Structure 1
């Protein structure tokens, strides 16, 4: 099973892929999302989104500035104000 992950900015779709897990820099602290996660919405602080393509893999990191994260039955969508780099 895989988590469908999308990273979007106001300008474009940055990433859309199936991954193992994503760690999100939530405003109340970091949280990890796997396939089947309970639905939620969270604001995000500036920080690093860590993307694990497979179980046990080293994470790929993407720096973001603020935004929102939504987990629903389709997967995880991050609406970032800006992607840095």
Structure 2
């Protein structure tokens, strides 16, 4: 079962894809989201989103600055003030 992940900035939709897991830099600490996660909302801090295509396969890192993350029955949506592909 895959998690639907969307990353949105004020300029555009940057990502909309099905993934295994995303680790988000929350203000209370990093948290991982898998398919079926309980509904949840968090403010995010500046840091890197880590996107996993499989249990041990990192498919990308995206640096985000400010915003919110919402987990719902539809998946994970991150609304970031700024986002850039991490090196």
Fold match, TM over 0.5? yes
Q: Partner residue of 2:55?
A: 55
Q: Partner residue of 1:24?
A: 24
For residues 31-78 of structure 1, give each alpha carbon's deviation from its aligned partner in whole angstroms, at most 9, with x where no partner exists: 000000000110000000000011211341000101000000000000
Q: CA RMSD in A?
A: 0.9
Q: Partner residue of 2:13?
A: 13
Structure 1 residue runs of 5 or longer lacking an equivalent are none
CA contact (8 A) 2:20 2:52 kept: yes
What TM-score, normalized to structure 2? 0.94
Runs of 4+ in structure 1 over 4 Å off: none
Equivalent residues, number: 85
Q: Partner residue of 1:38?
A: 38
What TM-score, normalized to structure 1? 0.96
